[in-house]
A and B are shown apart, each in its own frame.
Chain A
């Protein structure tokens, strides 16, 4: 009883030109028989061997006129065939095996190369786009930042009413103005908005729209600390971090549309971006850059920059106590390293006589705290009214306008 190998046959006489067979290795020939009883014979002397098939491991045997092709993918088949043929087929088989080995090595190298090339392209594309987007952002006119910041400010939900009381806004505007003279980029329009909200936060939108919450003024221990926060936020604007964030989020499409001057799309996207409560979601690298640029601005404006590290000391102490209120802290690097970095920058700066910040700190704080006993006259009430009036009256008005419009439209349609 000889071993049988499962395989197939190609022959023109078969109804479909092919059939599955069982191959037997007999004394002088291969014999293949189909399930229907057809039999095909190839003597070993005539046998022409070739390796191929899907896996490259299928052995084909053809007769002299190549009219019969037998094949099997059985792993044992080539060895058994060589043995049964008694050395007559060894040369052919060896030649085929070397060829197959070379081919499989070539294809392995090729596929490895292909995978490596794909990875390389992907990685370089990723970094290329990031770098390209950044480069494009920095070359854009500052007027775009201003437009963007204004649109974003309009669209943003305010956490409280705006304070127009000059006793509050004037001293803070004075700090902003002192720093603005030393901004890294020209053409910024630093407009201050003070918002009545217990949130300890401040931010500066692209183009210079600066927002300070009263919670921050209450939390700050000195005018220097307040100036430090303001300088840090202004640095985000002058370093144009907002645009970089947008371009990195939106990727190449945004960069291209900016390049060809189509700003309508990116404005819409930016509005969305800034409203989605991600004003302070700068990267750690951007935060560190803003810290250092803030120190530089403070120093240039002759304001003592030690407010910066002392602010971080304060935050470090209070962070555990008021985690919710301290929004400003949450996305920033850890305080210890920020203290260290800003302090070492301050140490490296040339010595300078610092001019104190001219403001009545206690008066500002009590004004912000809304202490009526400290209110000098009725002007605070007027200021409050005037600050609330625009918002409280604007919103209902605009909504009624809308409903009127639609009802008119409906009427027109109906008639």
Chain B
């Protein structure tokens, strides 16, 4: 299966060229267009309970679509908001994705829901996150641009900008500075991440967009 991320970085979409026998799993409603030779199969995103959990807690769809073909064809997948997408190749390792980031994956990838803990709620990232593990490629998206950082020590990320992180990354939520500067700098709470491992960041945050829009209403 050939994959190409096009129209980077603002309106990135994923074009997949499926060979006979290939299949791919995508978030519901992510398909933009495809060849008529491709079959779409809707299935629960995990078991029924898992699906419900993913839908209501993980910000993911209750159903995922599996696209497969016997003769080959083209498939284009997008995400609902403007921004970049990236590909991650799993080789037995795993990665946590923030709610809503997942776009598509190969069949060898396992999707699971995990409790992220209260600190992530305080950090504005959501109580649950998606865990992708196994073998195969995973595509996920962000609002704005995506950058990747290999972290060996500590790194500070503003809340709402963390898109994905490895399980080996330690995450702490803390104040940006002292009490005064935390409140008046506009930074408020920040996430302190600690390596070793890799994190993916988005250049814009939904909270920022919401606050900006609100100010202009």
Q: Which residues of A contact B197 (CB under 8 A)?
A: 10
| Contact of B92 with A69 in the complex, beta carbons under 8 Å | no
A10 to B198, CA, bound (A): 10
| Contact of A8 with B92 in the complex, beta carbons under 8 Å | yes
**CB contact between B93 and one of A20, A56, A58, A114 (< 8 Å): that residue:** A20
Within the complex, the shortest CB–CB distance from B120 to chain A, in Å, comes to 10
| Contact of A54 with B93 in the complex, beta carbons under 8 Å | no
| Contact of B92 with A21 in the complex, beta carbons under 8 Å | yes
Binds B, one of A11-19, A210-218, A259-267, A329-337: A11-19
A58 to B167, CA, bound (A): 9
Within the complex, the shortest CB–CB distance from B14 to chain A, in Å, comes to 19
Given A111-B119, A111-B122, A19 and B168 contact (CB-CB distance below 8 Å): no
A249 to B178, CA, bound (A): 36
- Residues of A47-92 at the interface with B, using a CB-CB cut-off of 8 Å, are 52-54, 56, 58, 60, 69, 71, 73
B94 interface residue per 8 A CB criterion: yes
Q: Which residues of B contact A107 (CB under 8 A)?
A: 119, 172
- Residues of A3-35 at the interface with B, using a CB-CB cut-off of 8 Å, are 8, 10, 14-21, 34-35
Given A54-B96, A111-B122, A20 and B170 contact (CB-CB distance below 8 Å): no
B49 interface residue per 8 A CB criterion: no
| Contact of A114 with B91 in the complex, beta carbons under 8 Å | no
A20 to chain B: closest residue by CB: B92
**CB contact between A52 and one of B118, B165, B194 (< 8 Å): that residue:** B194
| Contact of B169 with A35 in the complex, beta carbons under 8 Å | no
- Residues of B117-135 at the interface with A, using a CB-CB cut-off of 8 Å, are 118-119, 122, 133, 135
**CB contact between A54 and one of B133, B135, B167 (< 8 Å): that residue:** B167
Within the complex, the shortest CB–CB distance from A37 to chain B, in Å, comes to 12
B168 to chain A: closest residue by CB: A53
**In which size bucket is the chain A interface?**
20 to 34
A123 to B172, CA, bound (A): 27
Total number of B residues with any Cβ neighbor in A under 8 Å:
25
Within the complex, the shortest CB–CB distance from A111 to chain B, in Å, comes to 6
| Contact of B91 with A35 in the complex, beta carbons under 8 Å | yes
Q: A-B contact count, CB below 8 Å?
A: 62
Interface of B is mostly: strand
Q: Which residues of B contact A60 (CB under 8 A)?
A: 168, 196
Q: Which residues of B contact A377 (CB under 8 A)?
A: none
B2 interface residue per 8 A CB criterion: no
B16 interface residue per 8 A CB criterion: no
Q: Which residues of B contact A52 (CB under 8 A)?
A: 168, 170, 194
| Contact of A16 with B91 in the complex, beta carbons under 8 Å | yes
- Residues of B142-178 at the interface with A, using a CB-CB cut-off of 8 Å, are 150, 165-172
B116 to chain A: closest residue by CB: A54
A80 to B171, CA, bound (A): 26
Given A53-B169, A54-B167, A69 and B196 contact (CB-CB distance below 8 Å): yes
A347 interface residue per 8 A CB criterion: no
Given A10-B196, A54-B96, A111-B122, A36 and B91 contact (CB-CB distance below 8 Å): yes
Q: Which residues of B contact A15 (CB under 8 A)?
A: 89, 91
Given A35-B135, A107-B172, A111-B122, A19 and B167 contact (CB-CB distance below 8 Å): no
Given A34-B91, A58-B167, A17 and B196 contact (CB-CB distance below 8 Å): no
A54 to B119, CA, bound (A): 11
Within the complex, the shortest CB–CB distance from A61 to chain B, in Å, comes to 12
Interface string of B69-113 (1 = CB under 8 A from A): 000000000000000000001111110100000000000000000
| Contact of B169 with A54 in the complex, beta carbons under 8 Å | yes
A54 to B168, CA, bound (A): 6
Within the complex, the shortest CB–CB distance from A100 to chain B, in Å, comes to 10
- Residues of A205-257 at the interface with B, using a CB-CB cut-off of 8 Å, are none
| Contact of B91 with A20 in the complex, beta carbons under 8 Å | yes
Q: Which residues of B contact A8 (CB under 8 A)?
A: 92-94, 168
A17 to B197, CA, bound (A): 10
Given A17-B150, A52-B194, A71 and B119 contact (CB-CB distance below 8 Å): no
A107 to chain B: closest residue by CB: B172
A124 to B203, CA, bound (A): 37
Chain A CB within 10 A, most for which of B90, B122, B170, B194: B170
Q: Which residues of B contact A19 (CB under 8 A)?
A: 91-93
Within the complex, the shortest CB–CB distance from B76 to chain A, in Å, comes to 26
Chain B interface (Cβ < 8 Å from any Cβ of A): 89-94, 96, 118-119, 122, 133, 135, 150, 165-172, 194, 196-198
A-B contact pairs, 25 of them (CB 8 A): A8-B93, A8-B94, A8-B168, A14-B91, A15-B89, A16-B91, A18-B91, A19-B92, A19-B93, A20-B92, A20-B93, A20-B94, A20-B133, A36-B91, A52-B168, A53-B170, A54-B96, A54-B167, A54-B169, A56-B170, A60-B168, A71-B168, A111-B118, A111-B119, A111-B122
Extra contacts, 13 of them, besides A19-B92, A56-B170, A111-B122 (Cβ < 8 A), are A8-B168, A15-B91, A16-B89, A34-B92, A53-B167, A54-B96, A54-B167, A58-B167, A58-B168, A71-B168, A107-B119, A111-B118, A114-B122
Shortest 6 CB-CB contacts between residues of A and residues of B? A20-B92, A20-B93, A19-B91, A52-B170, A8-B93, A53-B168
Chain A interface (Cβ < 8 Å from any Cβ of B): 8, 10, 14-21, 34-36, 52-54, 56, 58, 60, 69, 71, 73, 107, 111, 114
